[in-house]
Amino acid sequence: MIRESVVPEAALPSMETIDETGESTVSTEEANQLMQQFQEELIEEDKRCDNALACFNQRVKEEEERHSKQHRLLEAKLLQAIAQSDGRQHSGW
């Protein structure tokens, strides 16, 4: 028994003929326009990437500076606590 398809014909891909002669179906002008468009898109993508990297690199630099400052502050507090502890031990506390 053969079942009929329940998929409407509009949902199926159209049956287009395939050019197997190898001839170009795009004019030289259209090809040049496409190449120009893709070159412009590549340039824009490179700019976007460069800008993103510059922002990230600046953010990394800022974070390294913040970390270094915080590290120095905590080291100073630690040294101060050690000095106070040593002073108390020597004074008999």
Query: How many domains does the chain divide into?
Result: 1
CA angle 38, 17, 15 (to 5 degrees): 100
- Tell whether 32 is covered by a domain: no
Structural domain harbouring 74: 39-87
- Tell whether 25 is covered by a domain: no
- Tell whether 72 is covered by a domain: yes
Gap between the Cα atoms of 54 and 32, Å rounded = 33
pLDDT band at 2 (very low <50, low <70, confident <90, very high): low
> Could you read off the pLDDT of 41-91 as tens digits, one per residue?
999 999 999 999 999 999 999 999 999 999 999 999 999 999 998 877 776
Gap between the Cα atoms of 73 and 68, Å rounded = 9
> Could you read off the pLDDT of 22-31 as tens digits, one per residue?
555 679 999 9
- pTM comes to 0.52
* Residue in this structure with the two tokens 């079942």, named with its chain if needed: 3
- Tell whether 30 is covered by a domain: no
- Contact call for residues 25 and 19 (beta carbons, < 8 A): yes
